Structures are given as C-alpha cells and as structure tokens.
Structure 1
Amino acid sequence: MKQDKEKDYSERVQRAAQLLAEADGILITAGAGMGVDSGLPDYRNKEGFWRAYPAIQKMNLAFEEVADPKWFKQHPRLAWGFYGHRLNLVRRTTPHAGFVRLLAMSQRPKRGVFVLTSNLDGQFQTAGFDPQRIEECHGSLHFLQCTRPCSEQVWCADEIHMAISSETLQAIGPLPICPRCGALARPNILLFNDKSWVDERSKQQGECLWQWLEEMMLDKARLAIIEIGAGTALPVIRRRSEFYAKVHHANMIRINPHDHHVRKARHVSLPLTGMTALEAIWQAWYKLTQTV
C-alpha cells in the first residue's frame, strides 16, 4: 500500500513537471498557503492568528472582525497597529525556496508567465517575478489609498515606517495621511465589508492578465496552470483557476496539503505544501528539460 502511494505521488509529480516543461505559457495562481512556508502567519486559522497577535486575542476578535474598514474610523491606531505590523513583517520576510524553483521553471515557456494572487505581501515581486505580469486581486500592503476615498489615487508605502506597541498593538507616532486631502490613509487592500477600496490598480493588472490570456488563446498556445495554497474558505483563486482551465482547455496543477482535490482527470492533485511540492516538481522538471 505504501509503495502504491509513493508510486502514485511520483507519477503526479512527474506529470506536473511535464505539463510545465511543455507549456507555452504558465499561469501561476496563489492563495494564502503560498506564504505560510515563508513564515508568515496563517490568518485563516484562529489559533494561528491569535498566536501571532496576542493583543487581539485579549479583545477576542477574529481576523474577519479586525480586517474591517470600520477600525480606521473607530480606532485608527489599532487599525494601523495591525496593518503596520503586517507591513513590517512582510518587508523582513524572505520568500521561501519554492519561489526560487518556480521562477526557474518560469524561464522556459516562450510566452512567459503571469501571476494571479490574492496575497497582499508582494512576495512574488520580492522573489524576482515581473511586476508587470502580476495581478494582486485583493490589493497590496505596499500601496496606500485615502480612507474617504477622495480620489482613485494610490501611492507607494515605501516611506511608511510604523512603530508598534508590543503590548497593545497600537501604532505609535503620526499616522499616514492622504497627500491629496489630508484624511487618514489606509492600505490599498480589499477588506471585509469594504465599500471604500480603490480597485483601479488591481483592475489594470487584471486587464493585463486578460490580454495575455487572450493572446495565448488566439495563437492556440498551450497554457498550464499551477495553483498553490488556495483554500476553500474564500475560494476566489480556486474558482478563477478552474474557470481559466475550462475556457482555455488548460491542464491545472493544484497544490494544497488539505483542499487538493480536482474535478477533472486531466488535472494534477498534490496534497503537499507549496515549498515541498515545488521542490519535488523542480527536481523532475530539471531532469526532464536537460534531456530535451
């Protein structure tokens, strides 16, 4: 039985490597699980979330409650304490080795790659992926917007350096403001119950992805989709992966230690973490491409 499972696993990895090696273009779709191997907290898990933010545990607040735009109005120092801490965290986090392997495999397709991610951390850009080939469908912590908002303007957060109280998670010192109207600024990310998110940047990224996919389809280029760490709690990435696979008749590789099941036999399911799966696929891919 164990040998059968190992053989099945090996065949799946080999199939995934072959799909990536033969593709004319690769669409990488990534959810929260992609960042966990880099050491970023699992915000969907209450225990993991509270372990990372004991001050929020004392208030008995779940992630969904904290990630609400109302906090920027009702308690701006707590809101910026939480998001300022997240921004500081992602800035000092190094993308895990799976990003390196994925970037290496992305150099082969003649149509290149495009990344679709719901993650806010900017790890794909940090790892070396082309920023012009990334759609961040929920925005990015590395950009700011007005809380009102007074315009569609967003701006880079590079100049923002937040000091945070370790006991209360309160932001210390001046809070970021909108350069246009002087109102409080906030991260340019989609929050829960959010009617104020400025989505212009994300829309422009999405248009670039649509154009890339359209050109692939018109030229009958072979598309491979590799989905990493996209769960079912908020299945935005999973649904888009499945939609593109259907419309473009593409094969999909789904990597997830828990929610790894696929609906079509032609797709590949790998019940592994992103870093583990990408290392195994790269090893098979490297051997395969060296003989071609």
Structure 2
Amino acid sequence: MEKGQTKKLAELIKSSSHTVILTGAGMSTESGVPDFRSKEGWWKEIDPRTVASVEALEDNYPLFREFYSTRLKALQTVQPHEGHKIIAKWEKNGLVQCVATQNVDGLHQKAGSIAVKELHGSIRKIRCNQCGNEAAKEQFITGESCNACRGKLRPSVVLFGELLPQIAWQSAFQHIQKADLVIVIGTSLEVYPVSELPAMTNGKTVLINKDPVWTAHHFFLTIEGNAKEVLHAVDELV
C-alpha cells in the first residue's frame, strides 16, 4: 500500500457525488469470519454442494442445519472492525450512498451502516423454507420446525441453486449505474453475477484487496492491502 494510492482514493471520495462500496469476504475475515476460498476458508474441508445447496436443505437437512448452526454460533462473538465503522461514518457524513455486500454476517449494519444491500442474503434472519414465516435463530439452532406450517427452518442466505434477492440486486444495480465512484473491497470477484457489477458503472472503479485479482487491470486504481489498514489510511485523508 503506497501513500500516493491512498491519497488518490481520498481525493476520489471527496470529489464524488455518488459513491458505492461493494464488499466481499475479505472485509469480514479481519473480524475473524472465515472466508470460503482461501487455504483457511470454509470450503477447504467441505464441498459447498453438500451443505450450502438447495439439495442439502431438502435431502440432508441435519447436515445443512449443523453447518449453518455452527456459523451462527461462531458469529455471536464477532464484532465489526475499524474498517466497517469507517464506512458507516462515511455514509453518515454523506460520502457513501450505498453499501452492497456479498457477506451475510450483518457486520456492516452492526457497525452502523444503513444503506446496505445484502446481495447474498442474511444468515442472521431465519425463515421457513416452505411458507416464508420468520422464526427465531434459537428455533433453527435447536432443530425446531416452523410454528405456522411445520416446514424446515433455514437462514435467509442465497444457497447454491437459488437466485439472488431481486430487491437488493436491483437497488445495488441502480446505485452503481449512477455512481461516480465504486470501491470494491475484499473480493476476488469470482462469483457471478456480483462479479459483473463493477463493469456496470460509468464512474471510476477502485479495488482494495489483500491478494492480486486477475481482473485488477480493469480498475482505475488498485490498492493491495488489508481492508482495515487501507480504509484507516484513507480516512485520515478524507
């Protein structure tokens, strides 16, 4: 991370009238949330198709519930880091108009962000897969059925084989279309269709990521580094 790069990003933020931030797993790993594709990630030991799919929900519900219950319990002690709080502060100060995220952990909201579009849903919201009735997290963890129809409970996340939530997707898409600046943080941009979003703006695009990304050459500015450190450095200049 070079000081010149952070200064350039700070100037872009100050001059932008409509800024969108798009975050991925790398935003949450610094709070202790495992990602999915790194050597230490969730998918190192688990085939996602066996636990995070429509088929698992329907055909192997005990395994499905065990996987998501473990994730929910792990999130109980997780807190937003400084980077999350900086983004929330920028939004409060009118510097950010939309936060679109691939993460399902709710850390942006916990940090104070309001204009959050959860593109892959939320693990903290539990509903019935059959009738859509909302339920308490504890009901899912303890293996209870839906109070209304006795159907299977599940987190409101996008499983393999499901479509993205259209309201969140359309809202994020509209914000990105009119953005002067789109800042992508902590994602390898390998998951379709979210990977297409940065190309849908006529504004400047910036990538902040710990590891090199093969599409980095498409961005106006690329900063290699941890999300928390980069955002802290930029915040001091905004």
Same fold (TM over 0.5): yes
Choose which of 131, 134, 138 in structure 1 pairs with 2:116.
134
1:259 matched to 2:222? The reply is no
**Residue by residue, what CA displacement relative to the aligned partner does 1:184-203 show, whole Å, maximum 9, x if unpaired?**
11111111234xx6x6xx32
Secondary structure of the structure 1 residue equivalent to 2:151: coil
Task: Report what 1:71 is aligned to.
Answer: 56
Secondary structure of the structure 1 residue equivalent to 2:236: helix
Task: Report what 1:193 is aligned to.
Answer: 161
Question: 2:223 is matched by which residue type in structure 1?
Answer: L
Please state how far the C-alpha of 1:41 moved relative to its aligned partner.
Answer: 0.9
Choose which of 85, 88, 96 in structure 1 pairs with 2:73.
88
Task: Report what 2:5 is aligned to.
Answer: 12
Choose which of 108, 122, 136 in structure 1 pairs with 2:93.
108
Alignment of 1:1-292 (within 5 A): 9-45=2-38, 47-49=40-42, 57=45, 61-109=46-94, 112-130=96-114, 133-147=115-129, 149-150=130-131, 153=132, 155=134, 157-160=136-139, 162=141, 174-194=142-162, 202-210=165-173, 212=175, 217=178, 223-243=180-200, 245=201, 249-260=202-213, 261-264=216-219, 267-285=220-238
- In structure 2, the CA distance between the partners of 1:159 and 1:229, relative to structure 1 (3 Å rule), is same
Question: 1:104 is matched by which residue type in structure 2?
Answer: K
Please state how far the C-alpha of 1:250 moved relative to its aligned partner.
Answer: 0.9
Matches of 2:80 and 2:135, distance apart in 1: 21
**Residue by residue, what CA displacement relative to the aligned partner does 1:120-173 show, whole Å, maximum 9, x if unpaired?**
11111111011xx221111110222333x34xx3526455473xxxxxxxxxxx
Give % identity.
Answer: 24
Matches of 2:211 and 2:176, distance apart in 1: 29
Matches of 1:211 and 1:154, distance apart in 2: 29
Matches of 1:203 and 1:50, distance apart in 2: 26
Please state how far the C-alpha of 1:176 moved relative to its aligned partner.
Answer: 3.6
Q: Which runs of 5+ in 1 are unaligned?
A: 1-5, 52-56, 163-173, 286-292
| TM-score normalized by the length of structure 1 | 0.71
Matches of 2:101 and 2:232, distance apart in 1: 20
- In structure 2, the CA distance between the partners of 1:85 and 1:95, relative to structure 1 (3 Å rule), is same
Matches of 1:235 and 1:282, distance apart in 2: 30
Q: Which shows bigger deviation, 270-279 or 66-75?
A: 66-75
Q: Does the 8 A contact of 1:141 with 1:189 survive in 2?
A: yes
Q: Does the 8 A contact of 2:24 with 2:186 survive in 1?
A: yes
**Residue by residue, what CA displacement relative to the aligned partner does 1:209-250 show, whole Å, maximum 9, x if unpaired?**
455567xx4xxxx6221110111432543320221x2xxx21
Work out which of the two has the higher radius of gyration on C-alpha atoms and give 1 or 2. 1
Matches of 1:160 and 1:232, distance apart in 2: 34
Matches of 1:230 and 1:50, distance apart in 2: 16
Matches of 1:92 and 1:125, distance apart in 2: 15
Q: Does the 8 A contact of 1:160 with 1:176 survive in 2?
A: yes
- In structure 2, the CA distance between the partners of 1:213 and 1:78, relative to structure 1 (3 Å rule), is closer
Please state how far the C-alpha of 1:204 moved relative to its aligned partner.
Answer: 2.5
- Matched pairs, number: 236
Matches of 2:231 and 2:11, distance apart in 1: 13
Matches of 1:30 and 1:50, distance apart in 2: 19
| TM-score normalized by the length of structure 2 | 0.86
Q: Which runs of 5+ in 2 are unaligned?
A: none
